Structure formats: structure tokens, C-alpha cells
């Protein structure tokens, strides 16, 4: 008969009591914010089981790599890092090494680990984090390899979390994706969309704000489809309005927004809010309608620009950022010129640019390339150069204005604080270590392509 969670916990505790030292666990996350958020839950589960968390893999009894499947290059790095753990395992054969996250959902990865890295005994797919205790116990009891792959449901709301920051917190509002963009592996490794209830999200956010958190980052592969399928359907703008009504001094940010589901109601909600960022990350990916169709993005550049025009019509300074993929297999120079026209028109604050990399199992991975790698690299170089000019010129709109700014870091050498404004822009301002984690008023004195600079104003 299967053990219940209490019995599993007691089983692990009994094993840990046989250790002659404090049992330690090391969790390292790679990839997107959602993965880092899952990593905080893995840490919470391990701490709850009796492990002390450590940043040093050499002293750990459990090492979990929580890795992302989105980019092939990042995956190879994780495989390399796993390989580098072998000497640690050789010195401590009781060490349990595990791979978790959406990378563990890939059959090819699992087959490779089983064949070439047998010391990786634990495999936990995205959404299988509740299986960690029973999987650990199975390995302690002698199982050579334990795989748990599940992504259909939502994580247990009561899972403990060890937050990395004392003032910035990520809160997933939904998991999975229904969109099947042809270049993307996410729907295959994270499953279909499922949303947390608004009550669960609100309770978590309220608790964080009461603890003094200053920035809440709401996460989902496509937050704009939040709420579909819930018993009482609710849209993302309505969720935002509920969260914005929580009293306190804080920012709410969110990502990612699929352009096909972003609406004027979303923009109106942001503009009329007290706490929500005045900036939208709206990944266009490409400016060419033909390529957008082949990417299965379900919008045209004209449709995308309608929302930009609507927003700038009522808030001319409103900032947008975007992801751009350069070198999609069928992208020609003419398609790339459409992307260049898009960045000229929108004047993004910031671009996250990627050279297309094929992911096996996706439709785009089967499409032949029509441009050479040299042509693609040259496009990327031109895109970055032009975007640098655009950012620098457009960022100057803030010079002389006073903005709210969350100080995230302090550099003792330069005595500068680094953080982000409510408008999502990076800003540097003189300050002190004590300012980190505070929301400050700063008057912008200069603008570079990557950041604003400013002077702190006395607290109002
Ligand atoms: S919206 Fe497209 S790119 Fe984003 S996670 Fe879903 S399939 Fe991937």
C-alpha cells in the first residue's frame, strides 16, 4: 500500500538521522522566472524535510538542478554541469543528484542521463514537485533511478517556499500554454493552460505585501488567457484590479503577454491602477506577417500595432518591450526589414533578442533555412545597433521627470543603486546599502540606451 505524505516524511527523517552531519541540500535553477519560482518551492520542500540549504554543491547530500527546456544551448550547459558533479558523487555515494523542471520532461534528455550519467538518480518533471519526498525516499531505500513526470494539474497550494529575496516575489497565476507557436517546446513540456483561482493568488499576494514585499511579479506563459476554464471565469484585467486594491506601497509587474490576447481593457486597467507597472512586455517576435503565420502566432503586425496606437493615443510615454527572434528558418531579408520597421514604429524601451535555435519535436525544427548563418548574424548586429539608438533617444523622454524606483542592488565601489522604475526602465542613482529594497522617488537627470540615471528626492 502506498505511504501517505506523513509516513514518507517520517521515512526520510529516519534516514537523515543516520547521517553523522547536518543533512544539506543544494538547488540550482536555470532558465525563466517560472523555473526560479519552482526552485523556491523545491527549496521549501527540502527544508521542510530537514535539510539545511547550501550554496556549495560539494557539501550537499541532495543536489537538484531545476532546468529549462526552451533553448538547446542552455540545455547543453546543464548537461555539462551535471557531468561535473560526478567527482562529488564519487567521493560521496550517498549523494542524490536530480534533474527537475521542464528539461526533465524531454524523453531524449532522460534517455541520455540514464545511459551516460547513471548517478543522476532522480528525475522530476515540471509540475511533479510534490513527488520529491517520495522519490527521495525510494532512492534512499535502494531504487537506482526514479522518474516522476506529471504536468496536468496545479501545484499544491500549501507547498512551502523559500524566497530568495526579501522584497521581490514571483507569484505564478497560471501554468502551461495552449498556443503551440511552431518554434516553442513549452506546450509539450509544461502541458495545457491551467489557472490558479483568484482567491489563491490574492491570498498569496496579500500575505507578501503584509510581509513588506515591494514588487510582485505575476507569472504565466500567457497571463492574458488567465482564468479560462476556472469554475467562475475571470479575465486577467479583473485579477489585476483585485490585486491592485490591496493596500500598501508596492509595484505589480507581470509576464508574459501574448499579443493576440492583450486588450485595451488591459491597458486601461494598468493606466488607472495605483500599483501596476506602466510598461508592457509584448513579445512580437517578428514584423513580417508571413513569418508570424508560420510561427503560428495568430496575429498580424497591423493587429499588434492597433494596441500600441491605442495605448500611445492615451499615454504617449507608455513603454513597451519585446522579444524578437532573428533567423526563423523561413525568414528572408525582406521579412527582416518588416521587423526593422516594427521596431522603428513602436520605439521599444528594450528588446530581448534571440537567434532562432531549433528545438526537436517542434514544427519549425523541420523547416529548411533560407538564409545563411552569416546573414542571420548580420541581421542581429543591425537590429541591436538600431535598437540601441532608439532606446537612447526614447529614454530621454524621462529627463527632468520624477519617477518611482525600486532599489534592487547597491554597488559599494560606485556608491550607486541599481533598480527599475514603475515604467520598467533600469535606473541608477546615488544611495546607500540601506536603500536596497525601498521604493524611492528619483528625478531623472540623464538617459543612456540601457538605463536612466537620477537623483533621489526626499521621501514625500
Ligand atoms: S505562447 Fe508560444 S512562445 Fe509562449 S510559451 Fe506558449 S507556445 Fe511558447
Taking the centre of ligand 1 as the mean of its atom positions, its distance from the CA of residue 182, in whole angstroms, is 9
The CATH fold assigned to 165-277 is Transcription Regulator spoIIAA (3.30.750)
Ligand 1 pocket list (CB less than 6 A): 177, 179-181, 184, 186-187, 221-222, 258
Question: In the chain, pLDDT over 90 holds for what percent of residues?
Answer: 82
Cis link prior to 200 (omega < 30° from 0)?
Answer: no
Cβ-proximal residues to 414 (8 Å cutoff; 6+ apart), any chain: none
Question: DSSP character for 118?
Answer: T
DSSP β-ladder status, 194-195 and 174-175: antiparallel
Taking the centre of ligand 1 as the mean of its atom positions, its distance from the CA of residue 257, in whole angstroms, is 10
Pocket test residue of 34, 257, 258 for ligand 1, highest count of atoms within 8 A of CB:
258
Contact between residue 369 and residue 311 where contact means Cβ atoms under 8 Å apart:
no
CB neighbour burial string for 67-78, b if at least 16 within 10 angstroms, e if fewer: bbbbeeeebeeb
Under the banding of pLDDT at 50, 70 and 90, the label for residue 153 is confident
Cβ-proximal residues to 110 (8 Å cutoff; 6+ apart), any chain: 104, 123, 147
Atom of ligand 1 at shortest range from CA of 258: 1
Asked if the model's pLDDT at residue 332 lies above 90, the reply is yes
pLDDT at residue 451, rounded to an integer? 93
Residue identifier of the C-alpha nearest atom 4 of ligand 1: 221
Q: CB-based burial of residue 248 (10 Å sphere; 0-12 exposed, 13-18 middle, 19+ buried)?
A: middle
* Domain spanning 399-457: CATH superfamily: Nucleic acid-binding proteins (2.40.50.140)
pLDDT at residue 2, rounded to an integer? 60
DSSP letters for 182-233: TT--HHHHH-S-EE--HHHHHHHHHHHHHTT--EEEEE-TTGGGTTTTSSS-
What is each CA distance from 311 to 226, 315, 428, in whole angstroms?
21, 6, 27
Residue identifier of the C-alpha nearest atom 8 of ligand 1: 184
Average of pLDDT values for 23-38? 92
Q: What is the CA radius of gyration of the chain?
A: 23
User: Residue ranges of the domains in the chain?
Assistant: 5-148, 165-277, 290-397, 399-457
Terminal C-alpha separation, the chain: 63
Residue identifier of the C-alpha nearest atom 2 of ligand 1: 181
Write the class of the CATH domain 290-397. alpha beta
Ranges 114-128, 265-279, 366-380: which has the least confidence: 114-128
Residue showing cell 524531454: 106
pLDDT, greater one: 151 or 182: 182
Taking the centre of ligand 1 as the mean of its atom positions, its distance from the CA of residue 32, in whole angstroms, is 13
Contact between residue 76 and residue 150 where contact means Cβ atoms under 8 Å apart:
no
Secondary structure, 3-state, 27-38: EEECCCHHHHHH
Pocket test residue of 70, 179, 185 for ligand 1, highest count of atoms within 8 A of CB:
179
Residue showing cell 526552451: 70
Mean pLDDT across the chain, nearest whole number? Answer: 94
Opening angle at CA 432, ends 431 and 433, nearest 5: 140
Taking the centre of ligand 1 as the mean of its atom positions, its distance from the CA of residue 187, in whole angstroms, is 7
Under the banding of pLDDT at 50, 70 and 90, the label for residue 459 is low
> What's the whole-model pTM score?
0.93
Under the banding of pLDDT at 50, 70 and 90, the label for residue 5 is confident
Pocket test residue of 34, 178, 184 for ligand 1, highest count of atoms within 8 A of CB:
184
Pocket test residue of 31, 35, 178, 181 for ligand 1, highest count of atoms within 8 A of CB:
181
Taking the centre of ligand 1 as the mean of its atom positions, its distance from the CA of residue 180, in whole angstroms, is 6
DSSP-based three-state secondary structure for 64: strand
Domain 5-148 has CATH 3.40.50.280: yes
Atom of ligand 1 at shortest range from CA of 180: 7
Alpha-carbon distance 249 to 213, whole Å? Answer: 9
Atom of ligand 1 at shortest range from CA of 185: 8
Contact between residue 289 and residue 304 where contact means Cβ atoms under 8 Å apart:
no
Cis link prior to 356 (omega < 30° from 0)?
Answer: no
Alpha-carbon distance 211 to 202, whole Å? Answer: 14
Question: DSSP character for 164?
Answer: S
Taking the centre of ligand 1 as the mean of its atom positions, its distance from the CA of residue 70, in whole angstroms, is 10
Taking the centre of ligand 1 as the mean of its atom positions, its distance from the CA of residue 340, in whole angstroms, is 22
Chain segment 440-454, per-residue pLDDT in tens: 999 999 998 889 999
Alpha-carbon distance 419 to 306, whole Å? Answer: 31
Taking the centre of ligand 1 as the mean of its atom positions, its distance from the CA of residue 221, in whole angstroms, is 6
Atom of ligand 1 at shortest range from CA of 184: 8
Alpha-carbon distance 405 to 31, whole Å? Answer: 26
Q: CB-based burial of residue 306 (10 Å sphere; 0-12 exposed, 13-18 middle, 19+ buried)?
A: middle
Sign of dihedral through CA atoms 157, 160, 166, 168? Answer: negative
Taking the centre of ligand 1 as the mean of its atom positions, its distance from the CA of residue 179, in whole angstroms, is 6
pLDDT at residue 449, rounded to an integer? 85
Atom of ligand 1 at shortest range from CA of 297: 2
Taking the centre of ligand 1 as the mean of its atom positions, its distance from the CA of residue 1, in whole angstroms, is 40
Average of pLDDT values for 241-258? 97
Atom of ligand 1 at shortest range from CA of 178: 6
Q: Are 165-277 and 290-397 the same fold in CATH? A: yes
Cβ-proximal residues to 424 (8 Å cutoff; 6+ apart), any chain: 253, 277, 278, 279, 281, 319, 321, 349, 350
Alpha-carbon distance 418 to 402, whole Å? Answer: 16
Contact between residue 174 and residue 196 where contact means Cβ atoms under 8 Å apart:
yes
CB neighbour burial string for 110-139, b if at least 16 within 10 angstroms, e if fewer: beebeeebebbbbbbbbbbbbbbbbbbbbb
Pocket test residue of 174, 194, 221, 361 for ligand 1, highest count of atoms within 8 A of CB:
221
Residue showing cell 528525475: 123
Asked if the model's pLDDT at residue 75 lies above 90, the reply is no
Chain segment 279-325, per-residue pLDDT in tens: 999 999 999 999 999 999 999 999 999 999 999 999 999 999 999 99
Amino acid at each position: 500500500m502506498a505511504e501517505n505524505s506523513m509516513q514518507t516524511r517520517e521515512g526520510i527523517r529516519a534516514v537523515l538521522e543516520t547521517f553523522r552531519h547536518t543533512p544539506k541540500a543544494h538547488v540550482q535553477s536555470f532558465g525563466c522566472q517560472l523555473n526560479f519560482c519552482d526552485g523556491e518551492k523545491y527549496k521549501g520542500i527540502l527544508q521542510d524535510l530537514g535539510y539545511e540549504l547550501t550554496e556549495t554543491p560539494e557539501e550537499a547530500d541532495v543536489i537538484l538542478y531545476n532546468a529549462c527546456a526552451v533553448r538547446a544551448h542552455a540545455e547543453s550547459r546543464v548537461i555539462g554541469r551535471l557531468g561535473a558533479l560526478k567527482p562529488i558523487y564519487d567521493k560521496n555515494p550517498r549523494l542524490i543528484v536530480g534533474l527537475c523542471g521542464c528539461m526533465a520532461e524531454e524523453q531524449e534528455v532522460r534517455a541520455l542521463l540514464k545511459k551516460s550519467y547513471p548517478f543522476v538518480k532522480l528525475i522530476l518533471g515540471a509540475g511533479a514537485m510534490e513527488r520529491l519526498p517520495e522519490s527521495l525516499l525510494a532512492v534512499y531505500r535502494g531504487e537506482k533511478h526514479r522518474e516522476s513526470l506529471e504536468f496536468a494539474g496545479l501545484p499544491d497550494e500549501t507547498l512551502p517556499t523559500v524566497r530568495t529575496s526579501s522584497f521581490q516575489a514571483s507569484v505564478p497565476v497560471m501554468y502551461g500554454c495552449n498556443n503551440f507557436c511552431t518554434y516553442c517546446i513549452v506546450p509539450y513540456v509544461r502541458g495545457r493552460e491551467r489557472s490558479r483561482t483568484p482567491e489563491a493568488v490574492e491570498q498569496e499576494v496579500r500575505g507578501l505585501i503584509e510581509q513588506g514585499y515591494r514588487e510582485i511579479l505575476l507569472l504565466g506563459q500567457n497571463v492574458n488567457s488567465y482564468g479560462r476554464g476556472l469554475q467562475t471565469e475571470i479575465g486577467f484585467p479583473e485579477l489585476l484590479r483585485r490585486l491592485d486594491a490591496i493596500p500598501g506601497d508596492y509595484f505589480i509587474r507581470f509576464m508574459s503577454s501574448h499579443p493576440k490576447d492583450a486588450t485595451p481593457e488591459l491597458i486601461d486597467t494598468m493606466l488607472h491602477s495605483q500599483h501596476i507597472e506602466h510598461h508592457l512586455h509584448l513579445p512580437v517576435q517578428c514584423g513580417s506577417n508571413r513569418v508570424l503565420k508560420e510561427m503560428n502566432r495568430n496575429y498580424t503586425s497591423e493587429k499588434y500595432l492597433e494596441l500600441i496606437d491605442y495605448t500611445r493615443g492615451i499615454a504617449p510615454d507608455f513603454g513597451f518591450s519585446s522579444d524578437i527572434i532573428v533567423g526563423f528558418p523561413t525568414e528572408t531579408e525582406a521579412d527582416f526589414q518588416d521587423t526593422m520597421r516594427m521596431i522603428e514604429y513602436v520605439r521599444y524601451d528594450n528588446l530581448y533578442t534571440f537567434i532562432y535555435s531549433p528545438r526537436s519535436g517542434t514544427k519549425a525544427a523541420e523547416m529548411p533555412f533560407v538564409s545563411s548563418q552569416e546573414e542571420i548574424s548580420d541581421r542581429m548586429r543591425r537590429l541591436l545597433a538600431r535598437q540601441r539608438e532608439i532606446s537612447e533617444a526614447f529614454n530621454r523622454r524621462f529627463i527632468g521627470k520624477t519617477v518611482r524606483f525600486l532599489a534592487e542592488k547597491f554597488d559599494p565601489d560606485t556608491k550607486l543603486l541599481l533598480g527599475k522604475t514603475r515604467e520598467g526602465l533600469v535606473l541608477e542613482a546615488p544611495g546607500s546599502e540601506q536603500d536596497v529594497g525601498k521604493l524611492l522617488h528619483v528625478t531623472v537627470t540623464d538617459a543612456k540606451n540601457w538605463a536612466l540615471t537620477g537623483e533621489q528626492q526626499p521621501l514625500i
